[in-house]
Amino acid sequence: MIERIHEIFETTYGSYKNDVTTLSLDDDNAVSLCYSERRFFDYDAIVQQIAQIESEDSLSSSDIIHFKENKVIFIEFKNGKIDSKTKKELKIKGIEGGFIALYKAVKRVDSSASFNDIVVIPKEYCIVYNSQRNPNSRITAITQHMESVRIRFSMEKYQGTFFERVLTVSEDIFDDKVLSQI
């Protein structure tokens, strides 16, 4: 099914691709969190377009949806301070975008698709945060490495349940390690 979904996105939503610099743009401050020419699907724009066509309220979704091998990867950029309200928004973006919005996007093109088809697909959720606005008091090299594998912002319960893997990484770790692996 993952191949079929990827094909649907390429053929139906291919015009919604944009570079990481644009996708990580913080509209409030007119600054991007990450800088790269790599292009990915603008998942927010796709979900908003579907809502507009269906005359519904838009669902929450991540900034990027990406397909790699046998999984779907969702990436959300957060340039601001991540407080308790933002943590809730991140959870909603993961669940609504990772399941309901993905189902709607596929179902619009393939009427035979079921919600269960979407549920069983392996998914990853990556939150990229601004390390200056969300600092960790420990700064040693070992701690920096550990920080790159630790799940922050109360997202650990989503790993192994809704998502096969959850990553919370700083913009530097995303640029240096994650971006080259996806």
Q: Residue 137 gets which letter from DSSP?
A: S
| Whether residue 140 has pLDDT greater than 50 | no
Tell me the sheet residues that pair with 26: 31
- Residue 9 burial (C-beta neighbours within 10 Å; 0-12, 13-18, 19+): buried
> pTM for the complete prediction?
0.87
How many domains does the structure of the chain reveal?
1
pLDDT, one tens digit per residue, over 45-93 is 999 999 999 999 989 999 999 999 899 999 999 999 988 899 899 999 9
Q: Given the DSSP bridges, would you call strands 39-42 and 64-68 parallel, antiparallel or unpaired?
A: antiparallel
Range of the domain at 165: 2-181
Number of Cβ within 10 Å of residue 87's Cβ equals 16
d(C-alpha 92, C-alpha 60), whole Å: 6
Helix (H/G/I), strand (E/B), else coil: 11: helix
Q: Given the DSSP bridges, would you call strands 64-68 and 165-170 parallel, antiparallel or unpaired?
A: unpaired
